Amino acid sequence: MRTFYQFIMSYRGKLVDDDESRLAEWIFNEHQFPKYSTSYDEISRYLEMNSPFINALSVFDTLWDVYHSQDKGNI
């Protein structure tokens, strides 16, 4: 199973910035982000304490659902 960090890196480098790519870029540059975590609670707590922009948590929730559904498809 890949980590959420590995998953969200696929959202980096878009030609037109959107909230998903902004979050991915921020996570990439955030050295303390829990890169090896697959835990929703751990990552959401981190984002709650270090939110990079106003709707980052809702963007995370949406991306977590995509991540989780893709992970289930790989079982």
Segment 35-57, tens digit of pLDDT: 999 999 999 999 999 999 999 99
Distance from C-alpha of 20 to C-alpha of 34, rounded to nearest angstrom: 18
Tokens 């979050």 -> residue: 23
DSSP-assigned letter for residue 11: G
CATH number at residue 12: 1.10.150
Two tokens, residue 1:
């199973």
Q: Is the pLDDT of residue 14 over 90?
A: no
Task: Say how many domains are in the chain.
Answer: 1
How many of the other CB atoms lie within 10 Å of CB of 27? 23
Q: Is the pLDDT of residue 72 over 80?
A: no
Angstrom distances, CA of residue 45 to CA of 15, 37, 50: 30, 12, 9
Q: What percent of the chain has pLDDT over 90?
A: 84
Domain that holds residue 11: 4-73
The mean pLDDT of the chain is 93
What confidence tens digit (pLDDT) does each residue in 30-39 have? 999 999 999 9
What does the pLDDT read at residue 74?
61
